[in-house]
Copies of this chain bind each other. A is one copy, B any other.
Amino acid sequence: MSVDRTLHHFPLDPFSREVRLVLGEKRLRFTEVAERYWEQPETLAALNPSGLPPVLVELRPGERLVVCESRAILEYLDERYADPALLSNHDVAERVEARRLLHWFDRKFDYEVNSLVLHEKMEKRLLGLGAPDLTALRAGRQALRAHLTHLEGLLNNRDWLAGARMSLADIAGGAHLSVVDYFGEVPWEDFPATRLWYSKMKSRPCFRPLLNDRYPGLQPASHYDDLDF
């Protein structure tokens, strides 16, 4: 059955990237609409009351489905398009661990790292709020090292973040770290297991569109799209 699929997203939004990675991993074609969400576009607010990307719209004969917020979209896609399974076929302990890590990235990493590092280096530029505050940036970098230490501990004992199989946890980790990496903020050299895992993620076809992202006025770090970084 033919599905007309549209993703409303912002290229450097980690939550939008989670959805793009899952769509890529499942080889689902979609039309992109890039949203400058900080300008509060009415079209976006009409789809999602929070006014934020990502929003996925799927049209089928007799059905118009609007799916708002990254976690809802991820769970929806994995239930509806089970191949490859990123959660739905995993055993209970891996599902539970993957969802712990989804929460970790989407709340804890977002609060402690993105809200400092990305706010200072990206959002202030987009919003015209002036130069980064170095104290805030330093606090964000310190939090990032604590997060990487946690991931390194996991990846010293596992092939993928939640266990033996790739899952939504890897999608979330790849999405969040890739944006921080765009700004050259990930100290890969100190976290070899995490670096190896990220190089596996980066080599997947689903990652290619993310590595091609270039936002006007915000150049990525030189190694950003280098598979052998």
Contact = CB atoms under 8 A, between A and B. Distances in A.
B108 A95 contact: no
Assembly stoichiometry (copies): 2
Interface size, A (range):
20 to 34
A71 B103 contact: yes
B92 A80 contact: yes
A150 interface: yes
A188 interface: no
Q: Which residue, A66, A80, A95, A96, has most C-beta atoms of chain B within 10 A?
A: A96
Contacts of A100: 48, 67-69, 72
Contacts of A104: 49-50, 69
Given A108-B50, A150-B49, A76 B93 contact: no
Interface string A69-110: 111100110011000000000001101100110111011100
A71 B49 CA distance: 21
B71 A96 contact: no
